[in-house]
Chain A
Amino acid sequence: MDEELGGRMGAAQILGRGVRESPLLRQGFGFTMLLAIIGAAGRVVIPIVVQQAIDHGFVRDSVNMRVIAVLATVSSATIVATSLAQRAAVKRLGIRSEGALYELRVRVIEHIHRLSLADHNDERRGALVARVTSDVETLAEFFSWGGLAWILDGALMVIVAAVMLSYDWLLAIIALAVAAPLALVLRSVQRHLVDAYGKARGLNADFLGSVTELVTGAETLRAYGAGPVLASRTKLVAKQRADSFIRAGFIGAYLFPSGEVFSAFTVSAVIGVGVARGSAGGLTAGALVGFVFLTYRFLEPIAEFTEVLDQTQTAVAGMRRLLAVLDLPVGPPQALQPVALPDGPLSIDISDVTFGYRTRGEVGDDQPVLFNVSAHIPAGQQIALVGATGSGKTTLGRLLARLADPVAGQIRLGGVPLTHVSNEQLRQRLVVVPQEPFLFDDSIAANLEFALPGTSFADLERAVTALDLDDWLLTMPDGLLTRVGERGTQLSAGERQLVALLRASVADPDVLILDEATSSVDALTEVRMARALERLAQGRTIIAIAHRLSTAMRSDRVLVLEDGRLIEDGSHEQLLAAGGHYSQVFAAWVSSTS
């Protein structure tokens, strides 16, 4: 999908844009190229020496040692000098391309961090990680080999052609004419090669995705005995992947020796014509032999080209995907001239907010999930947001945290439109706690400190006490230093939620949005914590999304969402009295619990 975004751009355009995006690459590029060309010139020294030696050194059964000595000295010096030039060119290119890749990587990381959350979901994650790792790696490989080969070998072909022309223009033209069809062959086979590798890469991604599912879903797969079925499906993909790479490999294998095939014909043509003409046209034996060497040299890079062709395609595809990510609009844009939020408790104004997730993939789910939602929440009010599953509660929470901007309407925090609040300030003052919180693979303390780097251990302990969770912490084997495991899986689901709540309280925000944040916590702990929160809440605005209606009862006011519309708004008592949706739900709940 990402590939389609930049899909209409040709390879050259993609590379061109890539280079434009990395100023470091262009720095001193002209001089580097000059050095590279000088370096490549070193590779025609031997054919020239052979020609000179045959024509002037070995004249008529006697050998002119003086000529040979001069030739040897001059050519040795040239070779040393051109090698040094090549070394300098490779160094310069290497340093710059590594620098450019570093910059690109950091830019992509930064950009992905700033993408809207609509572009971040479980399913997309692997792809985004791949952008920063494997896609940049394809470029790294290209720069360290393929790109260099294009430049050095390209320069070599040009220089060889020039030397050939200077020796004997007729032979040179014959050589070029015989070799020319090679370009056509390369072009047509190359297209198949590109397609074949494109297909293989697609299957490779499928394969890796399939293996990841096999590992992350290990427990569910085992519980349902579905492991073997999925394993055989994955193996089928592995087979298809192998097949497609083998096919692409064979196409590459046909292409690879095409340079040799053509050099066999070209050399024959050159020798044939040269011998037929004899010394009539001023041709010498040395020049003819030198010519043969030059012809081999001329077509030598073809093999390497076919080798780097796939690498180049991979790099172009990688670049294309990288550019596509960089082209994804970042999450809500930063406020240009941020307005400072007022101190103290903050009110929230939601006016006429409509929102839909961007269309993704084949399914058109760009219908709004929120329609014209309006509510004024005074500073310090405790709100309960209730509604059926899929009604848009989580989505509204995301909008309040400005993880995405409404399609229409506006949200104001403390009277300031969210679009005018700086990101730093917003994050300091407003925090969302989700239902399935994410913990980093580290200690509990490190996870808490993430909210406010530099918080002392004692302060973390105080935060635990403030939420009345000392008893719970005692059950952890190493207290705050307990490791939580990958994604927190060494804790129970409820324990993960507790850590996430603690983390939010360490940040000490003025607005707290709890999205089913205690759904797996036992009732006693929840109520104790809720009381503690209430104590802490003095002056804080809290929006609790909860299915336990006891939470709704305790709050100052209840908002009811249904299918993306705010259908009821009032205190618990008012809503019950109104006899609407909420009162029905509530009555059903009460009867089911008694």
Chain B
Amino acid sequence: MIVADTALPRSRIERWRTAGQLVRSLVRVHPKPFIIAVSAAGVFALCTVASSVVLRWIIDHVIDPRFRAGHVATSTVLVGLGFIVGTGMVRAVAVVVRRGMAGVTRWRIAETLSGDIIDRLVAQPVSWHQLRASGELAARAGVDVDAAVDVISPLPYASSVVLLIAVSAVWLVYIDVPLGLFSIAVFPMLIALNLSYQHRVDRHFTAAQDHLGRLSAAVHESFEGVHVVKAFGAETRETQRLASIAADLRSARTSAVLVRASFDSALNAVPALANIGLIVLGAYRIRSGDLTVGELASMIYMFTLLVFPLRLIGFALSALPHSLAGWGRLREVLDAPLMPDPADSLVVAPPELGVSFRQVSFSFDADRPVLTDVSLDVARGSTVAVVGTTGGGKTTMLRLAAGLLSTSSGSVAVAGGDRSIVLQEAFLLGDTLRENIAFGSVFSDEQIWAALECAEGREFVAELPKGLDTQVGERGVSLSGGQRQRVALARALVRTPALLLLDDTTSALDPSTEARVVANLRSALSDTTVLMVASRPSTIALADRVVFLHDCSIAATGTHAELLESNETYRSLMEAFEVDREAITASLEAPERKDS
């Protein structure tokens, strides 16, 4: 009990402190528009008080004399009306400046913050990205930034409310001390009401936010895997699973609404009842001659003007936990130490070598090595095939050579010049085919077409109505698996790289297309060192040399024929094809005999 009592305020104080830090860090990014917005808010607050002064003056000097004494000077009336219009105008201009500049502050800060995060995301190497879910990382620069800066928009207004309360408190007391004190006593009550609302509803809002996060992650995965869902007829099952999360969200939200309904009506009723109290008290003061009717009306007017701003403080506060959470999450990205770029640890290979591995070891987790003590020299301009079993570390080897992963020990050396890797699963941007091939650099159309030609993609691109300008993705075409692979290959080829790394790049191509691609590569890439993962003998046969990865290290190197001779495991791996080969030759002979 005691523990709970002391723990609660402390955490609350801490939260206020972090909230203060949040605001300070955000405002520091773009202080100028913020200061303008706050100043305009100050003008607004003063005008609000002024308008109540004007109302009092009009009641006492225009309305009252007219209805009691029967006449009033026209000039007096005009002056009063002029004041009403004047304060109204200034107030309106102040509102425009305040809101507009609050928006400038909010969006410029969001722009700067998301820019920082984007820079950070781009600067971090692949290994850093692999440890994090991509959907969450994307949320950092988007939703989380928006959540964090949400706290900014109501701030100028909130600051004017503070000023408004202070000035009007003084003004109310100045008009009439007992009545002023009475109204001032109501403010803390309203603020306490706001805080208690905030405190009670927080739990539900936080829960709702959690459920919403869970829901979007689950929906994302379920739609991403919709092929699997459909393949196993799991639509109903999946819908039910997602529906149960949606139901949690619903009940958290409903609880919040119920709390809100009570407090909303209390927040309406309390000021109204206080107003009635003012009238009753005011009646006594008027009877004793200490107050005029105009003064009382102006106090009531003042009071009604304060109610809405006070409620807005509640809104601003309810955004706070949300903002703090978003801020915390984006700090994780901004404050994460920059991991070293694996590409920086690549060394320059001696002139005769295209790529060279020196006692390279690699593992994702310490107790399960993927590569141990791999040493390999690839002569410049030669083509080497990497062969191995599924999960044998072939892709890992290529990533090391591309500078996408860094070795656990040992070093990788590469020749100077461009390195291009074509990954096992092609990634395309939702952009034009031209942009997908140029990929951030500038190439002439001739170069792009030549690369496509070499990748055997010229034909299908030429058949598209818009050719290279065809959009890929949501606003354009869907490509088949083989078409995607060839676009990715053209992207690598257009750069005429010194080192070309191909990870099973022809796996989705039919044999004749594959044969043509392979032949094109042979003739076009005489100066390029090619390290390629291959599983089909047709591709393996193209290589000058074969590297056989087995049990995390290089079991043998040599030509395809040599390895078949010398290495039992290699032979058994290739046996599958050799066994088939007998049947193949047999079946090929049969029709030939018929022909002759």
CA distance A572 to B476 in the complex (A): 38
Q: Which of B107, B261, B392 contacts A249 (CB 8 A)?
A: B107
By the criterion CB–CB under 8 Å, are B513 and A388 in contact? Answer: yes
Interface check A185, CB cutoff 8 A:
no
By the criterion CB–CB under 8 Å, are A492 and B391 in contact? Answer: yes
Q: Which of B129, B365, B389 contacts A524 (CB 8 A)?
A: B389
Per the CB 8 Å criterion, the residue count for chain A at the interface is 207
Q: Which of A68, A224, A426 contacts B491 (CB 8 A)?
A: A224
Chain A residues closer than 8 Å to B221, beta-carbon distance: 440-441
Interface check B32, CB cutoff 8 A:
no
Interface residues as binary, B489-531 with A (CB distance below 8 Å gives 1, 0 otherwise): 0010001000000001001111111110010000000000000
**Which of B9-17, B96-104, B165-173, B190-198 is the contact stretch?**
B96-104
Interface check B541, CB cutoff 8 A:
yes
By the criterion CB–CB under 8 Å, are B250 and A98 in contact? Answer: yes
Q: Which of A109, A217, A234 contacts B243 (CB 8 A)?
A: A109
Interface check A162, CB cutoff 8 A:
no
Chain A residues closer than 8 Å to B576, beta-carbon distance: 523-524, 526-527, 550
Interface check B427, CB cutoff 8 A:
yes
By the criterion CB–CB under 8 Å, are A495 and B122 in contact? Answer: no
| A268-B427 in contact given A132-B219, A403-B230 (Cβ < 8 Å) | no
CB B546 to nearest CB in A, in angstroms, measures 14
| A213-B429 in contact given A261-B92, A434-B227 (Cβ < 8 Å) | yes
CB B468 to nearest CB in A, in angstroms, measures 13
CB-contacts of B60-85 with A (<8 A): 62-64, 66-68, 70, 72, 77, 80-81, 84-85
Q: Which of A214, A226, A278, A394 contacts B481 (CB 8 A)?
A: A394
Interface residues as binary, B257-301 with A (CB distance below 8 Å gives 1, 0 otherwise): 110111011101100110110011001101100000100010011
B257 closest partner in A (C-beta): A94
CB-contacts of A111-135 with B (<8 A): 112-114, 117, 120-129, 132-133
Main secondary structure of the interface of B (DSSP, over half): helix
Interface check B575, CB cutoff 8 A:
yes
By the criterion CB–CB under 8 Å, are A242 and B239 in contact? Answer: no
| A361-B58 in contact given A250-B103, A257-B92, A271-B81 (Cβ < 8 Å) | no
Chain A residues closer than 8 Å to B224, beta-carbon distance: 125, 438, 487
B511 closest partner in A (C-beta): A589
By the criterion CB–CB under 8 Å, are B283 and A223 in contact? Answer: no
By the criterion CB–CB under 8 Å, are B257 and A91 in contact? Answer: yes
CB B1 to nearest CB in A, in angstroms, measures 33
| A87-B389 in contact given A271-B84, A577-B594 (Cβ < 8 Å) | no
Interface check B388, CB cutoff 8 A:
yes
Interface check A19, CB cutoff 8 A:
no
Chain B residues closer than 8 Å to A113, beta-carbon distance: 222, 226, 229-230, 235, 238-239
Interface check B2, CB cutoff 8 A:
no
CB-contacts of B400-453 with A (<8 A): 402, 404, 419-421, 423-425, 427, 429-430, 439-441
By the criterion CB–CB under 8 Å, are B111 and A253 in contact? Answer: no
| A222-B126 in contact given A211-B141, A386-B510, A389-B482 (Cβ < 8 Å) | yes
Chain A residues closer than 8 Å to B465, beta-carbon distance: 363-364
Chain A residues closer than 8 Å to B464, beta-carbon distance: 363
By the criterion CB–CB under 8 Å, are A242 and B265 in contact? Answer: no
Chain B contact-residue range equals: 35 or more
Chain A residues closer than 8 Å to B518, beta-carbon distance: 592
CB-contacts of B209-261 with A (<8 A): 212, 215-216, 219-235, 237-239, 242-243, 246-247, 249-250, 253-254, 257-258, 260-261
CA distance A43 to B265 in the complex (A): 11
Interface residues as binary, B101-115 with A (CB distance below 8 Å gives 1, 0 otherwise): 011100110110011
By the criterion CB–CB under 8 Å, are A87 and B265 in contact? Answer: yes
By the criterion CB–CB under 8 Å, are B429 and A50 in contact? Answer: no
By the criterion CB–CB under 8 Å, are A254 and B96 in contact? Answer: yes
Among the interface residues B104, B114, B572, which one has the most CB atoms of the partner chain A within 10 A? Answer: B114
Interface check B544, CB cutoff 8 A:
no
CB A366 to nearest CB in B, in angstroms, measures 11
| A493-B425 in contact given A71-B279, A90-B260, A362-B475 (Cβ < 8 Å) | yes
By the criterion CB–CB under 8 Å, are B254 and A95 in contact? Answer: yes
**Which of A3-11, A55-63, A345-353, A411-419 is the contact stretch?**
A55-63
CA distance A213 to B430 in the complex (A): 8
By the criterion CB–CB under 8 Å, are B138 and A45 in contact? Answer: no
Chain B residues closer than 8 Å to A390, beta-carbon distance: 460, 480, 482-483
By the criterion CB–CB under 8 Å, are B212 and A238 in contact? Answer: no
By the criterion CB–CB under 8 Å, are B223 and A120 in contact? Answer: yes
CB B183 to nearest CB in A, in angstroms, measures 14
By the criterion CB–CB under 8 Å, are B304 and A389 in contact? Answer: no
Among the interface residues B233, B249, B280, B591, which one has the most CB atoms of the partner chain A within 10 A? Answer: B233
| A278-B390 in contact given A68-B283, A90-B265, A550-B576 (Cβ < 8 Å) | no
CB-contacts of B561-590 with A (<8 A): 572-577, 579-581, 583-585, 587-588, 590
Residue contacts A-B, CB under 8 angstroms, 13 given = A94-B258, A113-B238, A113-B239, A137-B212, A217-B429, A220-B427, A228-B440, A285-B66, A433-B231, A477-B368, A507-B232, A547-B514, A589-B512
Further contacts, 11 of them, CB under 8 A, given A249-B102, A357-B478, A572-B587: A110-B239, A125-B224, A242-B107, A250-B96, A253-B97, A264-B87, A389-B480, A439-B225, A453-B237, A495-B391, A503-B228
